[in-house]
C-alpha cells in the first residue's frame, strides 16, 4: 500500500508541477481569444446578466411551459447565424489559494486511483503499467474533453491545452507509475 500512497502522491506532484509550468510559463496562453471590443461586450453582459453561470444564446427560458417548442423555433431561425456560449462571473477574483489546493487534491485523487489499479492489477511489465495509466488519461480525454468539444462545438484553441496536458503531462506521470508502482518482483 506504501507504493500506492507514495506513488500517487508523487504522481500528483509531477502532474501539478507540469501544469503549473505550462500555464504559468505561457504555453497555454492561446486557450482564449482576444477582442478589442471587450469593453462594450462586458457592458452589455453586465447590464443583462445578474448571476454567475454558463449562458447559451439564443436559447429559451427552460422554465417556460413551451420551452421545448421555443428552443426548436430558435434553432430553426438561428441556422447559419451566430450563437454564443458565455461563462459569466459577477466579479473577478485573483488567483485564490484554494484553486491551487483543489487542483492538487483533484490530481492526488486521480493519481491514487490509478496507482491503486496498477498496483492491484498485477501488471508485470513496465509497458503494461505505462499503458494502463495512459488508458485512464485517454479515456477521460475521449469521454469528457473531446466529447464536449463535439457536442458544444468548442473551438480547438479552447481544448488544446487540456489535450496536450492529458497526453504529455500524463505520459510523464505514467512513466513514474510504470517505474515505481509495482508489486515486489515485478519486471522493471
Full pLDDT tens readout for the chain, 188 residues: 899 999 999 999 999 999 999 988 988 888 888 999 999 999 999 999 999 999 999 999 889 999 999 999 999 999 999 999 999 999 988 888 898 999 999 999 999 999 999 999 989 899 999 999 999 999 999 999 999 999 988 888 889 999 999 999 999 999 999 999 987 666 66
Is 75 a member of any domain?
A: no
Tally of structural domains, the chain: 1
Is 17 a member of any domain?
A: yes
Is 20 a member of any domain?
A: yes
**What is the per-residue pLDDT for 11?**
97
3-class DSSP assignment, residue 160 = helix
Is 42 a member of any domain?
A: no
**What is the per-residue pLDDT for 94?**
83
**DSSP per-residue codes, 39-56:** HHHHHHHHHH--S-EEEE
Give the whole-angstrom CA distance, residue 74 versus residue 79: 9
**What is the per-residue pLDDT for 157?**
86
Under 8 Å between Cβ of 49 and 85: no
**What is the per-residue pLDDT for 22?**
93
Q: Which domain holds residue 101?
A: 2-32+95-180
Global pTM reads 0.85
Give the whole-angstrom CA distance, residue 188 versus residue 185: 9
**What is the per-residue pLDDT for 30?**
87
Give the whole-angstrom CA distance, residue 173 versus residue 77: 48
Is 19 a member of any domain?
A: yes
Q: Quick one: cell of 157? A: 484553441
Is 74 a member of any domain?
A: no
Is 77 a member of any domain?
A: no
Under 8 Å between Cβ of 140 and 166: yes
Under 8 Å between Cβ of 176 and 128: no
**What is the per-residue pLDDT for 186?**
63
Give the whole-angstrom CA distance, residue 143 versus residue 4: 26
Amino acid at each position: 500500500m506504501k507504493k500506492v500512497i507514495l506513488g500517487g502522491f508523487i504522481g500528483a506532484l509531477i502532474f501539478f508541477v507540469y501544469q503549473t509550468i505550462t500555464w504559468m510559463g505561457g504555453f497555454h496562453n492561446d486557450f482564449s481569444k482576444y477582442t478589442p471590443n471587450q469593453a462594450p461586450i462586458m457592458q452589455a453582459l453586465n447590464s443583462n446578466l445578474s448571476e454567475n453561470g454558463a449562458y447559451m444564446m439564443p436559447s429559451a427560458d427552460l422554465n417556460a411551459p413551451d420551452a421545448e417548442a421555443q428552443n426548436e423555433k430558435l434553432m430553426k431561425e438561428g441556422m447559419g447565424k451566430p450563437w454564443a456560449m458565455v461563462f459569466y462571473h459577477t466579479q473577478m477574483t485573483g488567483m485564490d489559494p484554494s484553486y491551487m489546493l483543489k487542483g492538487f487534491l483533484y490530481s492526488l485523487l486521480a493519481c491514487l486511483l490509478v496507482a491503486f489499479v496498477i498496483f492491484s492489477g498485477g501488471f508485470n511489465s513496465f509497458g503494461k503499467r505505462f499503458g494502463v495509466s495512459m488508458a485512464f488519461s485517454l479515456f477521460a480525454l475521449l469521454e469528457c474533453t473531446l466529447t464536449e468539444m463535439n457536442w458544444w462545438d468548442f473551438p480547438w484553441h479552447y481544448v488544446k491545452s487540456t489535450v496536450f496536458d492529458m497526453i504529455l503531462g500524463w505520459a510523464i506521470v505514467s512513466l513514474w507509475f510504470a517505474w515505481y508502482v509495482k508489486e515486489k518482483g515485478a519486471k522493471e
